[in-house]
Amino acid sequence: MYSIEGQENVSPTVYDGLKFYIIASGSIPVILFGRNQLALTVFGILPSLIVILFFESIFSFFELGFGQIGMEDGYYHINRIRSFIAYFIITASSFSLRFLVDKSDLENFHLQEELAHKNKEIQEQSDRNLAQLNTELSEKVKQLEHREFMLSQSQKVANIGNWECDSNGKFTFWSKEMYNIFGFDDSTEVTQIKLSDFLKVNEKNKFEDTVELVLEAEFETKITLPITTPIGYHKWVEFFFYVIKNDRQQAIIRGVCKDITYFKESEQLLKSNERKYKGLFKQSFYPIILINKEGLVLDANESFDNLIEAERNEFIYHDINTLLRFDLNKAIKTSYEIDNFKMEGEISTILGNILQIELFIGYLDHDNLILTFRDITELKLAEQRIIESELKFRTSFEFSANGMALLSKEGYFMEVNEKLCEITGYSANELKEVSFSDITYKDDLPRDADYTNMLERGEASSYNKEKRYIHKSGAIIWVSISTSIIKNPENEEDFYYVAQIQDVTDRKNSESQLIEAEERFRTLVERSLVGVYIIQDDRFEYVNPAFYKLFGYTESEMLSLNDFSDLVHEDDQQKIKANVAARMNGELLKARTEIKGVDKQGKIIWVEAYGSNITYKGRPAVIGTLVDITDRKQFEKEQALLGSIVESIDEAIISISIDGFINSWNTGAQKIFDLKPWEAINHQLNEIIPSEILPNDEDLALVMNDDLLIENLEKKWLKKGGWRNISISFFPLKDRSNNLIGSTIVARDITNRIKAQQELKESEERYRDLVENASEALVVFKAKDGDFVHISNSAIDLFKTSHDQLLDMSISDLSPKYQPDGKESRTQLRKYILKATKYNMIAFDWTFLDLEGNQIPTEVRLTKVPSKEGLFVRGSIIDISERIEKNKLLAEANKKIGELKLMALRSVMSPHFIFNVLNSIQFFIGKNDRLNAINYLSTFSKLIRGILTHSVDNKIKLSEEIEMLKNYVELEMLRFDNKFDFELIVDEDLDLDYIEVPSLLIQPYVENAILHGLYNKEGKGKLTLEVTEKGDVIYFKILDNGIGREAAKKLRKKSFPKHKSMGLKLTEERLKLINENHNISFYIQDVMENNEVAGTVVTIGILT
């Protein structure tokens, strides 16, 4: 219970009723929206819950307090009735509304069902229509994809790509085929591709100009451009342009690009082939014409012009049938039926000549033909001549005095004449059934095969030989056969043989008998150990093996000698030739002669010759024998030499018998022991030789029994005048049977040698001191490897190193890798060392390096030094640096002197020539020939000006030199009243103003040709000056057809004016001086005509 001050308490029922009213009001939405859960919740339940929960707040908001509830009961009662009525009205209204709503819902339900049914039908129809549309769309998509694939493949096959670029000409799209055409990787962003990547500047500008033009005019166009791909391929492409608008109505360019490289190359090839075929047509050796089907000549080459002897305008567009002497239309119809048709006929030239021709017909197209002619007139004449020649051959073949035959390449007889049948005994038909080998003696067949193979290989065109045939009767007959091969020029495998056969049986029988007689004599002589010879007309007609082997020649070489005395030493040639001549004249001379011969190698042979007169082949000759006595002569010489040596040497050579008696005593023994031979021979050795020199008796006994050998036993012997050193040796003495017959004693007085050795030792000490202090570097090194074994102090100073360092090096270690002349040092030094060891000494210039790397030019002298320890080389090395410097200064001075001499020589001019020129001018003036005098004086002035201008110049332009020569020759032609013609030939390729030659060099030789060659020639002469270039050499050739050098020399001795030419001798001296700095070749030769001198040619070559 609530209580409010000043108000009456209200019953709870009133309050509850009020709540019921509120709930009843809230139930209306439940009645209205009971079937709609969402509406019921939103409009019924949620508002009611809010009112109940916030009941007090709502009352407070409307300023309704609980105090008002406690009003009078009547008032509350009235309110309760009102509430009930309101509730009832509200409820009734709600049910009415509900009824209406339910009725409306039922109608709506039926409508909804009908609408759902309709919607279902519509949905089903829509699904069917959509499915059909999807099917049709899928088919269209497939067709579109297929067309897109076909388009892509077509573009790929045709090398066509799509592209797009903006208004600035920058690419915004490339198809895949575009990447393939231009050789870019398809991963490359198209916006990164620049025109400069594949177009040159001109083509790039052309592309950009086309883009700009298409944008302005909005029309379609295409251009063709060459491109270069990133990997270097060159292509031709065709761009097609058209303009479209994008979504923003901006103009952009799209197009296609096609690779037309193949078509461009084909077009160029077609043009090239067209030019070639046109050239072949025009330049063909064979006459060719082009005609239409009516026979009118449309075109012809130059060979056809020449064939019919006409100008081009005389037959072009004329009927060819007017010239042909056969039916061309019939020939054309035949050519349709036969491939490679050709025929022979006749054609008339414009001049009326009839020619035999061979015609080939070809087809250019349906309406035009090509006729090719070949002139066979000469061929037909040749065939006629061949027929006539064959007739002549047949006549000479059949009636020849010798047997004749034609044989196939297999060797079978194809044709034979009557004489061959007579020789062999066979008939013609019988011979044609066999081959030549069937009637040839079997031993002669291998040789026949060799000869025929030689003919087949082309090593010879014919051969001659003698062989044996087998007669039909079985008899052996000898024949001389000459065989030639006749080959088909068009096929070398097609050939036959022509043979001429002569019966030589009788001659061979006679020769056989003679051969048998000669064979017996030859066998005897050939096997003789003594040389046998026959000399006739100072030549060997026969020599046997012993003879030519003695002199080291072959038989053929010996018989080919021009004179037998070539085998005789020059000391005996006169004697032996006189001997042979006397024998040929029948004079009696001693039969035996000893002479010195000379073998093939130039070695002297002593021979003993015997000879006598004979008649050989009907004429006088000398036959003789020769015995080699060289060994005997050598033995005699050695014996005499040995005796001379024994007698002349200073050593004592004494022979003693086995029992000790002296048998020989030479001059050397006489000098050493002061005893004459007769005082020593036949005396005991120990009686003559002092005992202090001899070995003891026991050793001497062993020597005599060949049990002991004593060599170089040195003893001191007190002789008159002082002590002497004696070296004595004992050698066993044996006879030819190796039996001991005594001993040989060799004693030498070595006193001087001992003394010399001592002096040599002292000299070596002095030499060592000299070497050590010599100014030139002295070294000794091994010849094998060049290692140093001795070095002087001056060598150490020269190479700036120590003694020990040099001993660890070789001479090649001190040389640079290459010498100044470019030769490899080690190889060249090895060659010099080998030459020093071969020739004992060699000197040369050499460049060394010191240890600081400085080059040292030197003069080296190497000398061979043999030694028991091996082969050494002593080197003397002189530093020539100062000498080279002085030589350079001297060379420069000489060069300046030479230049001054050249200037002096060039300034020399013949006074006689000037005098003659002035006389000629005076002559023209005297004749009042003013024009010739002025021309002559003008030309002379030009020549003098040129000579004076260039007299101080070393070189002159070739054009100026030629101009001066022309002026000079013109003067001489005027001076000699045009006695000769002049021709100047200058190579067109020469740059006359660029090339320079020594000045005033050629004129003296031109003057010499005029004065000494042409001046005395009877009739008019000719002078030719030719200037040519070969490589780097300019050649001046001065040719005259005058009297020649020898005739001119004779005339000069008799009557030619005694004056010097314009410096001919001085020019020769100039050539020598110029040749020091320039390579100049110079030679003169006579011009020969019918083995007689017909002029002179002088050739001067100058290296430019």
Cβ–Cβ under 8 Å, residues 619 and 632: no
Cβ–Cβ under 8 Å, residues 423 and 479: yes
Residue type, 150: M
Q: Which residues contact 356 (CB under 8 A, 6 or more apart)?
A: 344, 345, 346, 375, 376, 377, 379, 380
- Would you put residue 63 in left (φ > 0), alpha (ψ -120 to 50) or beta? left
CA proximity to 600, closest of 536, 548, 562: 548
Q: Based on the domain organization, do 628 and 534 belong to the same domain?
A: yes
- Alpha carbons within 13 A on the beta-carbon side of 193: 23
Q: What is the pLDDT of residue 10?
A: 43
When pLDDT is averaged across residues 707-723 and rounded to a whole number, the result is: 78
- Indicate which CATH number applies to the domain containing 420: 3.30.450.20
* pLDDT over threshold 60, residue 43: no
Within-domain flag for 559 = yes
Q: What does the block give as tokens for 1014?
A: 């042409």
Q: Based on the domain organization, do 669 and 566 belong to the same domain?
A: no
Strand pairing report for 342-348 and 354-363: antiparallel
Rounded CA gap, 293 and 1044, in Å?
72
Within-domain flag for 203 = yes
Q: Based on the domain organization, do 656 and 628 belong to the same domain?
A: no
What is the DSSP code (8-state) at residue 435? B
Rounded CA gap, 1039 and 686, in Å?
96
Q: Based on the domain organization, do 1053 and 909 belong to the same domain?
A: yes
* pLDDT over threshold 80, residue 759: no
Within-domain flag for 151 = no
Q: Which of 347, 380, 413 is the last residue of a domain?
A: 380
Q: What does the block give as tokens for 31?
A: 């009645």
pLDDT band at 146 (very low <50, low <70, confident <90, very high): low
- Please, is 649 exposed, middle or buried when counting C-beta atoms within 10 Å of its C-beta (0-12, 13-18, 19+)? middle
Q: What is the pLDDT of residue 39?
A: 56
* pLDDT over threshold 90, residue 890: no
Cβ–Cβ under 8 Å, residues 783 and 837: yes
Q: Which of 96-110, 589-603, 671-685 has the lowest mean pLDDT?
A: 96-110
Q: What is the DSSP string of 283-341?
A: H-SS-EEEEETT-BEEEE-HHHHHHHT--GGGTTTSBGGGTBSS-HHHHHHHHHHSTT-
Q: Where are the alpha helices (DSSP H) in 773-844?
A: 793-799, 803-807, 825-839
Share of the chain above pLDDT 70, in %: 79
Within-domain flag for 768 = no
Q: Based on the domain organization, do 975 and 1007 belong to the same domain?
A: yes
Write out the E strands in 301-447: 342-348, 354-363, 368-375, 403-408, 413-416
Within-domain flag for 140 = no
Exposed e or buried b per residue across 486-501, where buried means at least 16 C-beta atoms within 10 angstroms of its C-beta: ebeeeeeeeebbbbbb
Rounded CA gap, 940 and 934, in Å?
10
Q: Based on the domain organization, do 29 and 102 belong to the same domain?
A: yes
Within-domain flag for 807 = yes
Within-domain flag for 520 = no
Tens digits of residue pLDDT in 104-117: 667 777 777 887 88
Q: Based on the domain organization, do 941 and 1060 belong to the same domain?
A: yes
- pTM higher than 0.85 for the full model? no
135, 937, 970 from 914: Cα distances, Å: 122, 11, 15
Q: What is the DSSP string of 966-1005?
A: HHHHHHHHHHTTS-EEEEEEE-TT--TTT-EEETT-SHHH
When pLDDT is averaged across residues 1016-1041 and rounded to a whole number, the result is: 89
Cβ–Cβ under 8 Å, residues 170 and 208: no
Residue type, 886: K
Q: Which of 450, 472, 505 is the last residue of a domain?
A: 505
Cβ–Cβ under 8 Å, residues 236 and 272: no
Rounded CA gap, 312 and 298, in Å?
11
Q: What is the pLDDT of residue 48?
A: 63
Instruction: State the total domains in the chain.
Output: 8
How many residues in total does the chain contain?
A: 1104
Q: What does the block give as tokens for 1052?
A: 């000069």
Q: Based on the domain organization, do 288 and 430 belong to the same domain?
A: no
Q: Which of 72-81, 260-269, 500-509, 725-734 has the lowest mean pLDDT?
A: 72-81
Three-state DSSP string of 883-918: HHHHHHHHHHHHHHHHHHHHHHHHCCCCHHHHHHHH
Q: Based on the domain organization, do 731 and 696 belong to the same domain?
A: yes
| Domain membership of residue 843 as a residue range | 773-879
- Indicate which CATH number applies to the domain containing 940: 3.30.565.10
Q: What is the pLDDT of residue 758?
A: 76
Q: What is the pLDDT of residue 1025?
A: 92
Tens digits of residue pLDDT in 280-305: 777 777 898 888 888 888 888 888 88
Share of the chain above pLDDT 90, in %: 4
Within-domain flag for 889 = no
What is the DSSP code (8-state) at residue 246? -
Rounded CA gap, 548 and 523, in Å?
16
Q: What is the pLDDT of residue 36?
A: 56
pLDDT band at 735 (very low <50, low <70, confident <90, very high): confident
| Residue listed under structure tokens 């008002």 | 68
Q: Based on the domain organization, do 565 and 484 belong to the same domain?
A: no
pLDDT band at 1023 (very low <50, low <70, confident <90, very high): very high
Tens digits of residue pLDDT in 1046-1098: 888 877 766 544 444 444 555 555 556 555 555 677 788 888 888 888 899 99
Q: Based on the domain organization, do 1093 and 979 belong to the same domain?
A: yes
When pLDDT is averaged across residues 549-575 and rounded to a whole number, the result is: 87
Q: Which of 197, 232, 266 is the last residue of a domain?
A: 266
pLDDT band at 763 (very low <50, low <70, confident <90, very high): low
Q: Based on the domain organization, do 165 and 293 belong to the same domain?
A: no
